[in-house]
Each structure stands twice: as C-alpha cells, then as structure tokens.
Amino acid sequence: MYTESTISKQMKKGILEYLVLLLLDKKQLYVSEIIELLKEHQLLVVEWTLYPLLSRLKKDGMLKYLRVESPSWPPRKYYTLSEKGKIALKIMGDVRHNITQTVGAIENLT
C-alpha cells in the first residue's frame, strides 16, 4: 500500500548515498556531523541507517577514513571521498541532473 511514509522512505533511500557523497566531497566528517547536516536540510537519518551505508561505500572503495583518537570519547572515524568516490559522485550528479530535467519536463506537459 502506498502511504506518505513508505513513499518518503523509498525516495530518501534512493538519494541518501548521493547526498552523503556530496557532503563528504566538501570536507571530512564523522557520522554525527553527517547526520546533523542532513537534519539541518530537513532529511532525518539515524545512525543505524548511515553506518551500513558508510561501511558499504568504504568496502566499495568510494570512501576512506581517518581514525582520530580522543581523550574523552572513543576514537572517531572521519570519512572522506576516495578518487573512486569522486568519480562516482560526478556520475551521480550527471544522472541527477538528467532526472531533474526529465521530471521537470514531464511535470510541465500540458
């Protein structure tokens, strides 16, 4: 059954990887920072959604991370894009642009 919740989840799931790569292209971030930036832009994501995505992207060679020790916290992993991730982000950006144009054109059909 189509509900606002299920439709929203599916559409967010489809764009989350692209948004995470976009954020990591700007600067190194750790998980809490990624979540906060997404939240600031009206996309609520929880850690247990993000960790598997980051793990898969790392395994696929799209991300690398720097482990930073902290005296008061457990070590943090600061993620950034690898060269492969930068290439994938460029391709995703091109595809997103084409999809946006197609959606706009279809929405404006009379």
Phi first, then psi: give them for residue 67, nearest 5 degrees: -90, 120
Q: What pLDDT sits at residue 18?
A: 95
pTM metric for this prediction = 0.86
Smallest CA-to-CA distance from 31 within 1, 59, 60, 55 is with 55
Domains and CATH numbers, the chain: 4-107 (1.10.10.10)
Amino acid letter, residue 26: K
Q: What pLDDT sits at residue 37?
A: 96
d(CA 39, CA 31): 12
* pLDDT per residue of the chain (110 residues) written in tens, 0 to 9: 788 888 888 888 889 999 999 999 999 999 999 999 999 998 888 888 899 999 999 999 999 999 988 788 788 899 999 999 999 999 999 999 999 999 999 999 97
